[in-house]
Amino acid sequence: MATKRITVGSLIDSLQDLRAQKRAIAEKEKELNEKYKALELSLLEAMDNEGVTKSTGKAATASISMTRQFTTDDWDKFMAYVAKLKRFDLVQRRVSAPAVRELWELKGAVPGLTPYDKREISLRDL
């Protein structure tokens, strides 16, 4: 029995097939997330109407929880405050790759950063 030869073309086609499968799953996940969010809002409204913060069905228990979140109205003010307090833990550590690439091209280097080239496949439909 002859074994099937793996070629660059067959690998590309397999990658395309997997990407199509992932896209279908992602679309289904998006639909489910929308339905979940709508149902969650309905449940919150029903629990508010009944004046309860915890309730139980046959398969699960639901309770309303609160966590304080924040929106940034003025980044400049906030970042000045962070710098003044030296509380850089108030922001998440993540480099903005597009901004750093631009600065790197202008300055040639950015202290504390080491560049690397990430290799990946760019796949396009035929």
pLDDT tens digit sequence for 60-111: 999 999 898 888 999 999 999 999 999 999 998 888 999 999 999 999 989 9
86/81 Cα distance (integer angstroms)? 8
pLDDT tens digit sequence for 10-65: 999 999 999 999 999 999 999 999 999 999 999 999 999 999 999 999 999 999 99
10's tokens: 């067959």
48/85 Cα distance (integer angstroms)? 40
Is the per-residue pLDDT at 123 higher than 80? no
